[in-house]
Amino acid sequence: MAVKKDFKRADGRKAEDARPMTAKVGVIPNADGSAMFAFGDTVAIAAVYGPRKLHPQHMQNPTKAVLRCNYDLLSFSVGDRKRPGPNRRAQEISKAIEWALSPVVDLSLFPNTVIDVQIYILQADAGTRTAGINAASMALAQAGIPMTDLVCSIAVGKNDTNLIVDLSKGEEDFEEGEGATDFAVAKPANSSSFSLMQMDGKISPELVPEATKLASKVCEEIYEIQKKTLKDSLLPSEQEKGAKK
């Protein structure tokens, strides 16, 4: 099965279309780096603190820094009120975000320290972990943490028998036919390798190459947005330097 070119989704998107994407950096003034990334009504912010001394001392690594991610779906972000604080699902996603980001961060430069990445979901309409990864990657870059690349993340799903990109909440909850599948992936932008593949639901093995192809195409769009947002954030300071000259 390939993507149906004439397939229209409930919100009018084609199967291969992501929701409108927006991004911004410097959203939390007291953080070392911060960013916002949104897919439609799903809004994630990320804040980076560090590198700073890790306590207690027995948790320190003398060869590299510890990358510590914390994902939190805020209680007001969903229609049905969520109990405040982390749960098992949040802890699972926190670890997945660490795995997604770790390959591009040069942790060897900061032994015995920790780099904390706090990810908060302000509005949730599916795709929260992928929006969080995109925001966290930008926040790390804005904090000046040495990185080999930016990380881009998107979910590909299966709505009954149709492959679709960037599921909305309604599509994520689809129960007819074969049901829905949410296949979240993350990849360094300039690499053909993936740093994360995490699936909720099921998808047949022969569809995985098509799903990753769709994801890679959208990741190119995400990367351009990330690059432009980071570049534009530097323009005021560059203009100030020019004015001083």
pLDDT for the residue numbered 75: 66
pLDDT for the residue numbered 84: 55
Asked if residue 131 belongs to a domain, the reply is yes
Asked if residue 119 belongs to a domain, the reply is yes
User: Which two tokens mark 74?
Assistant: 């805020």
Of 185, 171, 165, which Cα lies nearest the Cα of 16?
Answer: 165
pLDDT for the residue numbered 218: 97
Asked if residue 14 belongs to a domain, the reply is no
pLDDT for the residue numbered 88: 86
Distances (CA, A) of 129 to 1, 149, 184, 197, 205: 27, 19, 8, 12, 23
Asked if residue 159 belongs to a domain, the reply is yes
Asked if residue 186 belongs to a domain, the reply is yes
Asked if residue 230 belongs to a domain, the reply is no
Query: Which CATH number goes with the domain that contains 47?
Result: 3.30.230.70
β-pairing verdict for 21-25 and 42-53 = unpaired
pLDDT for the residue numbered 41: 94
| Domain encompassing residue 191 | 21-55+63-219
pLDDT for the residue numbered 230: 97
Asked if residue 235 belongs to a domain, the reply is no
Asked if residue 227 belongs to a domain, the reply is no
Distance CA 59, CA 114 (A): 10
pLDDT for the residue numbered 1: 47
* Domain count across the chain: 1
Q: What is the mean pLDDT of each run of 10 residues along the chain (245 residues)?
A: 65 93 97 97 97 92 95 70 68 95 96 97 94 98 97 90 88 68 94 92 86 95 98 70 51
Residue 128: CB partners within 8 Å, gap ≥ 6?
A: 42, 44, 73, 93, 121
CA 47, chain centre distance (Å): 13
